[in-house]
Structure 1
């Protein structure tokens, strides 16, 4: 592939695009990982294991919807031109889904409505990211893509950190004391007993997103509408069909999509179930999980920023490979940690008090944040290396497909495994069921790593030649 000469976007346009990650990250930080998901599992569902199971179903259904439609919509967007209308449409869906999470009251009789809201939020936010990512390759020269992607991910993690501090410090009161993490009464009279502070993470995410996504719409340049846009649907589907037929012969591109399908599924599952696991196995409160989230977001920002610089110096493939190894080790550490065990070795008697498991979980969280930030930033540039510039949005659609084709398998496997190990026939405790239920994550990381040697960073190598 040949580097296309073009003018770079203005600094303001680049910052507008980067602020999308700042706008969207609270969805992943507050809803998917550190506040709402563990709250749902520990207080809305009947018990933690059942909550993990239900969350797996919701995430799995959302993943299937994204997997089956994102390549088609991406190809149509490339054929028609502009990406911002797609970002806007799916943003509306995502914002509505997040807002509806406010109605997830503790112990509610039926969780069906909330599971629908979770699916809406997931589909809307994920699709908005697909089309925003499609704009990346037109903003800067190829040599600067790694730094741009890493800086944007770092900014996103900082946004997640700030939003998490707001929730824990000023909104979410602990049920036992009624006070927030810093000892204040929750703002706006939020009731700690009915967990209104935790539920407020949904509306806060929606409001935050609406405010901070605006610079992207106002400042960032978009592709102009193509003259033959009226036939975009048929043309997009035709081009997608050609791409899919040709894909198996493009070993690097195909191998990258297959590899990322597994390692990103593992990472998403680790993010989705990490807080739920800590609540159920270690007995952590939302505040403790929030501190874990603050640490992970801080190291995530650092990891994404450093990963972007490493990407620029050594190429994205090196960054992705190293991050997978770190994440696999951290996953083993997490699964092997309970109130009495670390690395499957007993360190304390049942019922005794020790802080070692908590410390080890925090250490694992720090490295998960750093490696997770760097692998996601580097993956975006490694994908751009695989395609021509006029196929970028289609590629990110296929990227979403590859990430979601097994994304429903990961959560559903965890849901089914947790349900199996929690069955009365086996006689295991809820904690042991949760531990065994998340082990598929390790296998997914390993499959992703095995497939990486066939991936080439061709444009990176051409730039450095």
Structure 2
């Protein structure tokens, strides 16, 4: 790649290994395992739920404030992710910025210990959660960009699936520790002043910090084509980004179309987990304990399927895997809706079928993009990947709420999520997947 940003894929990239090194792959996957501390414990099941409890304010008010805080974080991510990715490419410090952003998340997670269950601490909690989201996404941009450094064109699907699977399974292990050890009191932590949740944040920070270390030692710093591009200032990076996106549109249009299509179906995938617990409780009568059991089962199924399907990604290509997964999601979602009168057995079967397809779609989406990114542009394009995802992150929640309003019952929200997944599938179908030559 020339300093002017030529998109020629034939430029040698010294950062891509000739053979897959198991040690590097395991180290890379352990970051995903550790990151579940933030994904599962902080943002999904524990700290975010703690912040929206009655201890911090009246119902409805704290949820709205949480939404505004995360919206502000999303805006910052959308504006900054491509630039931070681009600059880590050109500086040749991709691993350094992965470390910086990761340990900022670790520090912010540990600081959540100081958020006491009192309204005066709400804004501290919201700030820590929003800032954690920003730096976690920045870390994810560099982490995803490193996929090409730990895999070959022949193994990229298996490696990506391994990473996603490690994330799911790591989340389950930590959730079990946190739920039974702290929330249920197995470790004898006093159930006062929010201590079970607050100490769980310390454990989560240590968990992420420890499991993020191997990748920093086992994977060499990036020294590929992107590091040979001319370095520019921060604001000049936006001008370069504009030129590069225009060049992508002219010379690698499938990349742009895939970014748009994946943004839509990835929001639908997020909606499956975001609203799964709500639907289990409100439509199928699951108790809180049963919801947690289903969440554990769902993550186990998603993790195993993601690891297993990685080999198909390498044999068939990413697009057939994504199309099959999205088709399975649409069918499973419709089964959940139309058979909802059948009781909990319907959700345990069709609902788990939904999670069976989520992980493979997420993993194959990452490998599809990794295969078509011009060498040296991984950080920048994965930054765009994060940005486009954030740009449409309102879709699944909006369609869920709209269908619930129209149908007059929570069950109709299923159709809203299915519609988002179907729209993403339709947008993906015309995207050319000329990736076979990369398997040679």
* Structure 2 equivalent of residue 164 of structure 1: 175
CA distance in 1, matches of 2:91, 2:339: 53
CA pair 206-229 structure 1, distance change in 2 beyond 3 A: farther
* Structure 2 equivalent of residue 268 of structure 1: 270
Contact 1:34 1:290 in 2 (8 A): no
RMSD after superposition? 3.4
Contact 1:101 1:114 in 2 (8 A): yes
Structure 1 segments of 4 or more deviating over 6 A?
45-51
CA distance in 2, matches of 1:47, 1:291: 29
CA pair 57-149 structure 1, distance change in 2 beyond 3 A: same
Q: Which runs of 5+ in 2 are unaligned?
A: 1-8
CA pair 302-9 structure 1, distance change in 2 beyond 3 A: closer
CA distance in 1, matches of 2:26, 2:306: 16
Superposed, which structure 2 residues align to 1:44-123 within 5 Å? 55-102=66-113, 108=119, 111-123=122-134
Q: Which runs of 5+ in 1 are unaligned?
A: 174-184, 337-341, 348-355
CA distance in 2, matches of 1:47, 1:274: 25
CA pair 29-321 structure 1, distance change in 2 beyond 3 A: same
* Equivalent of 2:422 in 446, 456, 462: 446
CA pair 232-238 structure 1, distance change in 2 beyond 3 A: same
* Structure 2 equivalent of residue 376 of structure 1: 362
Contact 2:395 2:420 in 1 (8 A): no
Partner-residue secondary structure (3-state), 2:303: helix
Cα deviation for residue 306 of structure 1 reads 1.6
Q: Does 1:151 find its partner at 2:162?
A: yes
* Structure 1 equivalent of residue 372 of structure 2: 386
Moved more, 24-33 or 71-80: 24-33
Offset from partner CA, 1:302-347 (integer Å, 9 cap, x none): 111122011012111111112222333444566x4xxxxx7454x6
Cα deviation for residue 441 of structure 1 reads 2.7
CA pair 382-278 structure 1, distance change in 2 beyond 3 A: same
* Structure 2 equivalent of residue 246 of structure 1: 247
* Structure 1 equivalent of residue 213 of structure 2: 214
CA pair 251-385 structure 1, distance change in 2 beyond 3 A: same
Cα deviation for residue 172 of structure 1 reads 1.3
* Equivalent of 1:403 in 363, 376, 389: 389
CA distance in 2, matches of 1:333, 1:294: 22
User: What's the TM-score once normalised by structure 2's chain length?
Assistant: 0.84
* Structure 2 equivalent of residue 189 of structure 1: 189
* Structure 2 equivalent of residue 350 of structure 1: none
Offset from partner CA, 1:145-198 (integer Å, 9 cap, x none): 11111112122222112111212232212xxxxxxxxxxx4314241x666434
Contact 1:320 1:378 in 2 (8 A): yes
CA distance in 2, matches of 1:389, 1:53: 42
* Equivalent of 1:124 in 135, 138, 141: 135
Contact 1:311 1:319 in 2 (8 A): yes
* Structure 2 equivalent of residue 462 of structure 1: 437
Aligned residues: 425
Cα deviation for residue 365 of structure 1 reads 4.4
Cα deviation for residue 438 of structure 1 reads 7.0
Cα deviation for residue 445 of structure 1 reads 1.3
Cα deviation for residue 114 of structure 1 reads 2.5
Cα deviation for residue 368 of structure 1 reads 3.4
CA distance in 1, matches of 2:363, 2:202: 27
Cα deviation for residue 361 of structure 1 reads 3.0
